[in-house]
């Protein structure tokens, strides 16, 4: 039986990849698009079972994309945004979204909402049950940039919170304690070791090679900064150099 297909639309490749990996772990097949025009083209090509749409995108925003998709077929849509105000949420639902989720969110909540939409759609169509999600054998084939091979990594709420605070202020150095308080809670302020480990896990989930920083750049002794232009910047390798050292001629 075919796995349910989810189209993830987000202009931030880091978010698209984490969402894709989270859903793939729950047994969904995932495709991504980085903007509104691409989303419309991909949806017309693959006919997804559910579309996850970021609202704030350059060019066509999420609402415009949803309106265009709905003219073609009644695909269920989950709107994704960083604005958690009640007015914003009400506006999204009033404009036709089937569900609404705010960044950062728990991966299991995301999968549960997708399953709920599939069950609702199956019930409305008179189908006894929607396509069942099966356990994935690998990563989604286009879950965002991945310089290295897919490495299974557990993605938790802390990783989402770290990515959320970093991407909200690109180019701004976020201090260790700021990140710890936001992602872990006040009790962890000062524990930089746990922060470094979570950043390492986040980079790994984003497909960054072990010797690279990717878009999450380290400011040594201070914190981290989100640098979209540095997605593939290599950091200084800690591995020993294999370059032979020149011999020094003996004197005398």
Contacts 24+ apart (CB under 8 A), 41-47: 42/7, 43/7, 43/69, 43/72, 43/75, 44/72, 46/5, 46/7, 47/5, 47/73, 47/75
Write out the two tokens for 2: 């075919």
- The string of pLDDT tens digits covering residues 20-43 is 888 988 889 999 999 999 999 999
Write out the two tokens for 13: 């490749």
Q: Give how far Cα 160 sits from Cα of 56, 76, 81, 144, 179, Å.
A: 18, 24, 13, 16, 12
The pLDDT score that the predictor gives to residue 193 is 93
Task: Name 100's bridge partners.
Answer: 79
For the chain, the maximum distance between any two Cα atoms, rounded to a whole number of angstroms, is 95
The pLDDT score that the predictor gives to residue 121 is 65
The pLDDT score that the predictor gives to residue 122 is 62
The pLDDT score that the predictor gives to residue 143 is 44
Look at residue 218 and give its three-state secondary structure. Answer: strand
Write out the two tokens for 18: 């984490």
Look at residue 102 and give its three-state secondary structure. Answer: strand
171 vs 108: CA distance, rounded Å: 30
Q: Give how far Cα 178 sits from Cα of 58, 146, 169, 171, 186, Å.
A: 29, 28, 12, 15, 9
Q: In this structure, are residues 133 and 4 in contact, taking their beta carbons and an 8 Å threshold?
A: yes
Task: Name 54's bridge partners.
Answer: 80
Alpha helices in 71-156 (DSSP H): 86-94, 107-124
pTM (2 decimals)? 0.68
The pLDDT score that the predictor gives to residue 124 is 58
40 vs 65: CA distance, rounded Å: 7
Instruction: Show the domains of the chain with their CATH numbers.
Output: 5-124 (3.40.50.2300), 157-230 (1.10.10.10)
32 vs 15: CA distance, rounded Å: 11
Q: At which residue do the structure tokens 């940039």 appear?
A: 145
- The string of pLDDT tens digits covering residues 172-183 is 999 999 999 988
Give φ, ψ of 232 to 5 degrees: -125, 20
Name every residue whose Cβ is closer than 8 Å to that of residue 1 and which is 6 or more positions away in sequence.
131, 132, 134
The pLDDT score that the predictor gives to residue 114 is 92
Residue 199, number of CB atoms within 10 A of its CB:
21
Regions of the chain where pLDDT drops below 70: 1, 84-89, 91-92, 121-155, 230-252
């Amino acid at each position: 039986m075919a796995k349910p297909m989810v189209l993830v639309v987000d202009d931030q490749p880091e978010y698209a990849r984490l969402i894709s990996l989270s859903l793939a772990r729950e047994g969904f097949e995932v495709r991504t698009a980085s903007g509104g025009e691409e989303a419309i083209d991909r949806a017309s090509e693959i006919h997804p079972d559910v579309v996850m749409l970021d609202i704030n995108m350059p060019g066509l925003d999420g609402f415009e994309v949803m309106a265009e998709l709905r003219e073609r077929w009644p695909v269920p849509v989950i709107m994704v945004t960083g604005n958690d105000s009640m007015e914003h949420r009400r506006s999204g639902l009033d404009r036709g979204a089937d569900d609404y989720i705010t960044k950062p969110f728990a991966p299991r909540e995301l999968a549960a909402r997708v399953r709920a939409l599939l069950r609702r759609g199956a019930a409305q169509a008179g189908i006894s049950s929607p396509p069942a999600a099966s356990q994935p054998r690998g990563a989604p084939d286009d879950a965002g940039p991945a310089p290295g091979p897919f490495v299974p990594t557990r993605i938790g709420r802390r990783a989402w919170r770290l990515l959320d605070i970093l991407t909200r202020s690109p180019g701004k150095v976020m201090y260790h304690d700021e990140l710890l308080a936001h992602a872990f809670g006040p009790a962890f302020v000062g524990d930089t070791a746990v922060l470094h480990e979570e950043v390492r896990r986040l980079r790994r989930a984003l497909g960054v090679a072990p010797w690279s920083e990717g878009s999450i750049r380290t400011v040594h002794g201070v914190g981290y900064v989100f640098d979209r232009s540095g997605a593939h910047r290599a950091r200084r390798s800690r591995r020993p150099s294999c370059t032979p050292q020149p011999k020094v001629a003996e004197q005398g």
